[in-house]
Structure 1
Amino acid sequence: MKKRITVETAVISASKLIFSADESIENLHPGGQVLVDTDQVAFIYLMEGQDDYTYIAIPERLWPIVKTAMDKALSVWITYRDGQMELVDFQGELEYVIDNIKGNSNYGKEMVAKVEEVFQG
């Protein structure tokens, strides 16, 4: 099973959206890909480890601040106890995924409705 780290908080500071999580992401590298977890209604940013992937889950409760950051074209970072790391390609990947979800029943009614509610327009 892949490791899953859930983002606990998100804040906009200066020209960045900063996610924070309780678990270290040391020894991981940005994967530059965003996936969808329809069961948990979350976006997943892929981080690469030496032998496996780790999922960084962005739950629906944080989507409004993500939308604000997207509107302002802010870079996206994650903090952990030992520092910060930029989530490369987050914006472009998330925009692509959102465009695919809107009106697409393959993602399930709940996911489509919540994405359209937050990211419409």
Structure 2
Amino acid sequence: MKKKLIVIGSNIEDGRLVLKTREPVAGLAPKGQMLVDSDNLSFVYLMEKDDEYTYVLMPVAVWEDLKKGLDKSLPVYLEDGGSTVELYGIYEELSYLAENIKGNGNYGEAMVSKVESIF
């Protein structure tokens, strides 16, 4: 079974982008790969723990900070209030997905519109 973590907030601090979640992140290994959940207007970063995938959902509410981090090439960290994990490879994946989504009706009108307006 795939576990889902939802990013509930973000901020830029000390030269890095911090994505916040309520779920524990200790022991999660970043995979450097992303997917798109166009039904829920989210980018999804893949992580793994004990040979099981964990999906980190990044909803529209954090896209502005993702764009700022992308523009400044800031390192990205996922934080649960106690533990922190760096999400390597996120910008390469995010850039690729954003470019692929622009003008591509296969992702749905709402997703295309949001991506085009932010990225």
TM-score tier, shorter chain, comes to over 0.9
Please state whether the residue corresponding to 2:40 is helix, strand or coil.
Answer: coil
Give the TM-score taking structure 1 as reference length. 0.94
CA distance in 2 between partners of 1:88 and 1:103 (Å): 27
Residue of structure 1 in register with 2:30 after alignment: 30
Match for 1:41: what amino acid? L
Instruction: State the aligned residue count.
Output: 119
Kindly indicate whether the alpha-carbon contact (under 8 Å) linking 2:26 and 2:85 is maintained by their aligned counterparts in 1.
no
CA distance in 2, matches of 1:117, 1:50: 38
Distance 1:83 1:61 in 2: 22
Stretches (4+) displaced over 3 A: none
In structure 2, C-alpha distance between the alignment counterparts of 1:82 and 1:14, rounded to whole Å: 17
Q: CA deviation at 1:51?
A: 2.3
Runs of at least 5 residues in structure 1 that lack an aligned partner in the other structure: none
Match of 1:40 in 2: 40
Maintained 8 Å contact 2:101/2:115 = yes
Structure 2 residue matching 1:24: 3-state secondary structure: coil
Q: Residue type of the partner of 2:115?
A: V
Partner of 1:117: 117
- What does 1:65-76 correspond to in 2, within 5 Å? 65-76=65-76
Identical-pair percentage: 42
SS of 2:79's partner is strand
CA deviation string 1:50-90 (max 9, x = no partner): 12100000000111111111111111001124321100101
Residue 105 of structure 1 is matched in structure 2 by 105
